[in-house]
Structure 1
Amino acid sequence: MDSSECLVALDVGGTKTHLVVETLAGARILDTVISSQDWDAEPASHGADWLASRLRATLPAGLSIVSIAFGAQGINNPSIGRDLEAALLDRGYRVRAVNDAALIVPAAGLRQGIGVIAGTGAIAVGTDGSGQPISAGGWGCVIGDEGGAAALVREAARAALRANDEGKPDDGLLSALLADFGVEDAERLTRKVNDDPTSDNWAPHCTAIFDAADGGSQLAVNVISEGAGYLAALVAQLKNRGAKGDDVVVAGSVIVKQARLLDAFKRALGKQHPRLAVHVLDVSPVEGAVFLARAAIG
């Protein structure tokens, strides 16, 4: 075995990319996080150029890459992954490409199950009876991604502004959003949210919702509960489409770090599918890409 031979694994999320390099013997020689700025899975030429440029800029010199696997936001159906794999092969990289949520189950050491990511966005991924990946959600924060950070902020702003229009006293949610966005009143909050309808603008303010809920805001509690219900619905949609396994593995900065969202998700899922076991991923999702990269070389 050539000591320079290695495998490369990446988890490309909405805001950051986790990159790991291991020797074939299992020694980790690089474990780093870089920005996901400008990442997009489509067109495939863009995604392939993005990934190739990051590999060239980040990997140590002299390595012989035997296998690459990555999970990425935006690979929401197998054809997108295949197009990326083909485009990267044209650039000299033999790659396995899957949705980032598809890393969750193998990272947890499970052969089957449904992975749910609630971080910047929200998506669920499983496999059907033939082993093909199926997904639900992941539409982006403008029209979907309920339960993810950006969409929670979108819904919190809607709830707070609606209550304000109805003449109801602020129960703490509106003031929390005003303070976090750094604006003085509801009208300015409207402009602050609408003028830049992106996850980069919305998601960083998600903690204000949980702080408001902790402070007694029922509106904030309702927003969190509704977001959790949508996440549970993603799992139900996949089960209805034949997703296999009795385990649900959750990951992502919001659902892992915010107990209110996790607890509400467990309650909502338990009402629909009480036999499903929920696990919180306690390792980085990139470990799933490591598993896939190693599996590709037997």
Structure 2
Amino acid sequence: MKVLVGADIGGTKLALRTTTPDGTVRVDVEIPSTGWEAAPVDQAARWLLDRVRPVLPEDDEIAALGVGAQGCDTQEHCAHLAAAFEALGVSAAVVNDAALLVPAAGLTDGIGVIAGTGSIAVGACAEGTVLFAGGWGWVLGDEGSAPAIVREAAKAALAAHDKRRPDDGLLSELLAHYGVADAPALARAVNDTPTPATWGPAAPAVFRAAASGSASALAVIDDAATHLTALVSRLRARGAVGETVVAAGSVVLGQPLLAARLRERLGSAHPDLTLRLLDVPPVAGAVALARARYGLAGVA
């Protein structure tokens, strides 16, 4: 049976969904994305197909593949990866994972914003050129992502400690998360293993501190929302079209405070834009890409 395959490759997980051409879901699974690298493209294509084929029911044949992938940060890279799939006999359309949000929402244009393991915004101009802002990694940026929120929170808590200011709740929440006793131990805990897997899971501690009244934590969250809004502003300045910002990612969807602050800042900076929190998995957008690649755009 010919099937359409959608793949959403993020920083921690790979979501796979396959459907028949009439829309019947055949497979809907998530597995770790351990080992994913967007380059070199021939290895990336094989990596994904090595994970798609084992989950397909027997006798299912890939008619078209839609891919949204972290690390595919230019239009040229996406085209090269699509060509690598074609070289392996699979018709494919490839975009950055943030570019899945707009089609997943059932829209033809708009700006997608991801705030999860990383952060990035993706849109397109009227001529169809894909535009990117952010996505530079948590060491350099990715403001609004889980690791970056923790990075900024740790810096704020340690700076307050240096100034001998009373802990307003942020430091104690971070100490509790990492299971350490004091500020120097916190610095060692976050620096000894500087990876998103070490930093990202502490993000809920920052939001707990904010909910308990920590002004420091709230300032970090407000700054994250401001930076995410700035990504949208950069894209609009470069000609991105659409009236909707579609947001997804574990932080913005899992933490209502960040979503509320983002909505406020977008409303102030761009009153004509509407923020929509994606209420379906982004992999639905990958399936939409596969449908279009197969020539079924608009078919229910």
Tell me the TM-score normalised to structure 1 length: 0.97
1:178 aligned to 2:175?
yes
Matches within 5 A, 1:268-287: 268-287=265-284
Structure 1 distance, partners of 2:221, 2:142, is: 13
2:21 pairs with 1:29:
no
Q: What displacement does 1:94 show?
A: 2.0
1:212 to 198, 206, 209: 209
Q: Deviations over 1:61-114 (max 9, x none)?
A: 211111000101111111111121122222232211100110101111111100
- Map of 2:164 onto structure 1: 167
Within the alignment, does 1:52 sit opposite 2:53 as a pair? no
Query: In 1, distance between residues paired with 2:258 and 2:114?
Result: 12
Q: Structure 1: where are the runs of 5+ without partners? A: none
Aligned AA for 1:177? L
Q: How does 1:1-298 map to 2 (within 5 A)?
A: 4-298=1-295
> Which runs of 5 or more residues in structure 2 are unaligned?
296-300
Work out whether residues 142 and 197 of structure 1, in 8 Å CA contact, stay in contact via their aligned partners in 2.
no
Aligned length: 295
Question: Which amino acid in structure 1 is aligned with residue 124 of structure 2?
Answer: T
C-alpha displacement at 1:273, in angstroms? Answer: 0.7
Distance 1:134 1:127 in 2: 5
Provide the rounded CA distance (Å) in 1 between the counterparts of 2:188 and 2:82: 41
Larger deviation: 238-247 or 86-95? 86-95
| Comparing 74-83 and 39-48, the one that deviates more | 39-48
| Alpha-carbon distance in structure 1 between the residues aligned to 2:190 and 2:235 | 32
1:192 Cα deviation after fit? 1.3
Q: CA deviation at 1:25?
A: 1.7
Cα distance between partner residues in 2 of 1:201 and 1:94: 37
Deviations 1:126-156 (A, max 9, x none): 0012112111011111111000111001111
Query: What's the CA shift for 1:48?
Result: 1.6
Alignment check: 8 A CA contact 2:12 2:117 kept: yes
Code of the residue aligned with 2:165 in structure 1: it is K
- Percent of aligned pairs with the same residue? 50
Q: Output the amino acid matched with 1:229.
A: T
Contact 2:178–2:186 (CA under 8 A) maintained in structure 1: yes
Q: Secondary structure at the match of 2:150?
A: helix
Q: Distance in 2 between matches of 1:5 and 1:48?
A: 20
RMSD: 1.0
**How far, CA to CA, are the matches of 1:156 and 1:103 in structure 2?**
30
Q: Could you tell me how far apart the structure 1 residues matched to 2:114 and 2:65 are?
A: 22
* Structure 2 contact 221–258 (Cα < 8 Å) conserved: yes
Runs of 4+ in 1 over 6 A off after TM superposition: none
CA contact (8 A) 2:98 2:114 kept: yes
* SS of the residue 2:16 aligns to: strand
Normalization by structure 2: what TM-score? 0.96
Q: CA deviation at 1:246?
A: 1.2
Contact 1:142 1:198 in 2 (8 A): no
